[in-house]
Structure 1
Amino acid sequence: MITSPATNAPPEVGATLQRMRLARGLTLEDLSRIAGVSKSMLSQIEREKANPTIAITWRLANALGVQIGELLSSEPREVEAIRVLDAHETPTLPGNHAGYVLRILGPMELAGKYEWYELTLAPGGELASQAHDPGTNEHLTVLHGSVEIEVGTSKRKLKTGGTARYGADQNHVLRNTGKTEAKALLVVVHR
């Protein structure tokens, strides 16, 4: 069987990536931060100046909350009445070096406005964040274990079932000082 040269061409991911990014209201900078791919690389991919590696395509698909095949397809996908993400499809920011795993539960189109995460902290693990934009607040509910919250010079310990609300527009740290794993829901509200 003879195939045409177009059949053997790599998929043009750029237009699909841009369509999905814009449909979610994300800037190149937003997607860069979420996916861990440089803004310049994203720009090159969208302009069809570069083809992403499988690893980058996988990170972009996870960040956008889609299957990798959807990103490689030029066919627009029919919108589902109920969109379900299996656990392995949930974008995750591994901070294993610092003893945390942050699963992105909120949809990407709300990133930069409202974000929610499942935070898992190993014993001794911590998630240290620089100040977010002025007026940003975080709401942390501990599902099990305990978490120490440090905001500026203030520290508070939170146990299972407790919720802390604090300004995240200054440096802050979420730390597991216990001997067992801690898990929490973290909601970030940007102003």
Structure 2
Amino acid sequence: MEQDQIHKKIGRNLQSIRKARSLSLDQVAELTGVSKAMIGQIERGDSNPTISILWKIVNGLHISFTSLIEEEETKVTHIRFEELEPFSEDDGRYRAFPLIPFDQHKQFEIYTVELDAGCGHESEPHNEGVEEYILMSQGELRLDIQQDTYRLQAGDALHFTADKPHTYTNLSDGKTVYHTIIFYPKS
């Protein structure tokens, strides 16, 4: 592997680690004892850092040396809807399929929800700061958030802070389907 490729990879990986931890260049400089200017040059691939500088960075950030040079894996997860086991209530008339499970690093989860005709579902208030994004796919949904009522049809979307009681009701004669993204703030 060429030296040029290695220092560009180090730069990409360092920047990725810094951003994943929500650290500024100043904060990384403070943690590692390497100047802000040098950190910036390394991240841009403009500098070929010495091994001693790299050791300062890995020790200051408490990461492995190889984490700066490893290839980033492209991760693909294929979820088959028919293989998902739903959470269900109301004798199976309300079904929530965990499409994308919660991940600590991403702070959200995604469900596909199906409500049979006439079905309603009351949701307890979530923790403070939790947000829901509703993306309608089929049918008609009434969403009551405390005293406010919203009517959604296929193609509509709604975003709300979910720390208040909220109720979903299928207003159509058939099945209503929506996708919900639930975002959890970092604690």
TM (norm. structure 2) is: 0.54
Structure 2: gaps (5+ residues): 1-72
1:143 equivalent to 2:137? Answer: yes
Query: Is this contact kept in 1: 2:103–2:109, CA < 8 A?
Result: no
Find the structure with the greater CA-based Rg.
2
Q: 2:114 aligns with which of 117, 120, 124?
A: 120
Residue 138 (structure 1) shift: 0.7
Aligned to 2:151: 157
Query: Is this contact kept in 1: 2:79–2:99, CA < 8 A?
Result: no
Match runs of 1:66-81 below 5 Å: 81=75
Aligned to 1:129: 123
Task: Name the Cα RMSD after superposition.
Answer: 2.4
Match runs of 1:11-22 below 5 Å: none
Match runs of 1:1-191 below 5 Å: 81-97=75-91, 99-110=93-104, 113-191=107-185
Alignment identity in percent?
17
Supply the AA of the counterpart residue of 1:101: R
Which deviations, in whole Å up to 9, do the C-alpha atoms of 1:44-88 show, x marking residues without a partner? Answer: xxxxxxxxxxxxxxxxxxxxxxxxxxxxxxxxxxx9953333334
Aligned to 1:50: none
TM (norm. structure 1) is: 0.53
Residue 190 (structure 1) shift: 1.5
Supply the AA of the counterpart residue of 1:93: F
Q: 1:127 to 1:111 in 2, by over 3 A?
A: farther
User: 2 CA distance for matches of 1:131 and 1:109?
Assistant: 21
Supply the AA of the counterpart residue of 2:112: E
Work out the number of aligned pairs and report it. Answer: 113
